[in-house]
Amino acid sequence: MDPSLIGLIAFAAVLFMLVIRVPIAFALASSAIIGTFFIFALRTGTFSPDRAIRPTTSLTFSNAFDLVHNYNLSMIPLFVALGHIAYRAEITTNIYEAAKVWLARLPGGVAMASIVGCGGFSAITGSSIACASTMGRICTPEMLRMGYDNRLATASVAAGGTLGSLIPPSVLFIIYGIFTETSVSKLFLAGVLPGILTLLGFLFVVAVWVRRDPTVAPIADIHYSMHDRIKAGLSAWPALALFVLIVGGIYGGIFTATEAAAVSVALAILVGFGQRRLTLEALWESLKETCIQTTGIFIIAASAKIFVAFIALTGVAPTLVEIVSGAELSVVTLMIAIALIYLLLGMFLDPIGIMVLTLPLLIPLVEGYGLDLIWFGVVVIKLLEIGLITPPVGLNVFVIANVVGSDAPLHRIFAGIARFLSVDVIVLALIMAFPIISLLLPEAM
């Protein structure tokens, strides 16, 4: 049997297992291992299982071993730990509180503060779902108590939570960098301007929405003095310091991304204990949650690495490149097709699953067209970000729905999300049309 045919059957098997809700790690690893076994067993033309056992086990364990011993992978537990520690030390929540004090008197000000808070949270944690879950518990109930329309109160946090995918540090950028062998530091910098552009777009949505219908966001009957505003602004200094440390340190060549992660964790612990907001018990809980979350990511990544090696063995990727090249598709047509694939998968799968499933096939194709992998990484992450709030299975939307319960039915949240999705599509088009938006900072590095 032709290895390419085995590869296509294995890929179809993965999709089928995902449809019946088999975890992505088991779907990837099992299909890759079985497919690899058949390739080696049928290499001589007859089925010889004895000849396939050793090369199959060698390929499986060597690839999993190489991934786990990848130096860049150490960033994931460090940045995950940073998010948990910063939350328990109230570093992340202070961003929202400061934004609320400064923006509360504006129309839709608390919703804007929620988005800014999500952006600040994302700049520390790197996880969209964690951002939506945490900020949803803080911001959404408060907006509902103030009389905000439940569409605006929930959608602003669900959409704001997606900023964790794009604003560095981002776990998705780390995984993309490892699997495409591109610089994680440059990927982080490439996400800064698109992330800020998205944040500003979300604020614009709130402003226009409230201007057209002031009833969706009653102005808060709260008055803050200038002293309160200055005090609130100063309380957010640890979050700003961490963001400057990560982005400024990488941009200035002071740190690698891994070193920036380690220094940031140390600073967050020192600030937490120094301000007496972090206890040993809270630190221990943060580390336990980090271990649980990181283990899940590592299992998926290791399974994906095995699947990548299997795809390379089958020769499916070069065949796909040859077919697409023969079709003479333009770059615009290719990128539109890729965007549609990601948006379709984003309706049903989680971001990490989508990425590890598609990259083995798409990266050779993108390289064959001579496209920049740093720019393409930003496009991919932006598409995954959109998938987090796209019906019918927008993960961030379901997270917010679980937080608010009956106060905001799912269809109401999706009704509010539509406005933010329109901005996401515009930003995506700008990123694709003008690569300089993503490449300006990495090229100046």
Would residue 57 count as lying in a domain? no
Let me know if residue 333 belongs to a domain. no
Q: How far apart are the first and last CA of the chain?
A: 49
Nearest to 82 by CA among 121, 125, 117: 125
User: How do the pLDDT tens digits run along the chain, 445 residues long?
Assistant: 677 888 888 888 888 888 787 888 888 889 989 888 888 888 777 777 777 888 888 888 888 887 777 777 888 888 888 888 888 888 877 887 788 888 777 788 888 888 888 887 777 766 677 777 777 788 888 888 888 888 888 888 888 888 878 888 888 888 898 888 888 889 989 998 999 999 999 999 999 999 898 888 887 667 777 777 788 777 878 888 888 888 888 878 888 888 888 888 898 899 889 888 888 898 999 899 888 888 888 888 888 888 888 888 887 767 777 777 677 778 888 888 888 888 888 777 778 888 888 888 888 888 888 889 999 999 999 998 888 888 776 778 888 888 777 777 788 888 889 899 999 999 999 999 999 999 998 888 6
HSE, side-chain direction, 13 A CA sphere, residue 440: 9
Is 38 inside a domain boundary? no
- Considering the domain boundaries, does residue 317 fall inside one? no
CB 74, CB 290: distance < 8 Å:
no
- ∠162-209-433 over CA atoms, to 5°? 50
Distance in angstroms (rounded) separating the CA atoms of residues 226 and 270: 29
Q: How far apart are CA 78 and CA 246, in angstroms?
A: 12
Q: What is the pTM of this model?
A: 0.84
Q: Give which of 35, 55, 39, 56 is closest to 47, Cα–Cα.
A: 39
Residue 147, domain member (yes or no) = yes
Cis peptide bond N-terminal to 442, omega within 30: no
CA angle 427, 428, 429 (to 5 degrees): 90
Q: What gap in Å lies between CA 231 and CA 235, rounded to an integer?
A: 6
Domain containing 266 equals 71-299+372-444
**Omega of the bond prior to 194 within 30 degrees of 0, cis?**
no
Per-residue tokens: 121: 């949270």
The reply to whether 145 falls in a domain is yes
Separation of alpha carbons 60 and 38, rounded Å: 14
26 backbone dihedrals φ, ψ, rounded to 5°: -70, -35
Nearest to 361, CA basis, from 387, 378, 395, 338: 338
Burial class (CB within 10 angstroms; exposed 0-12, middle 13-18, buried 19+) of 367:
middle
How many structural domains does the chain have? 1
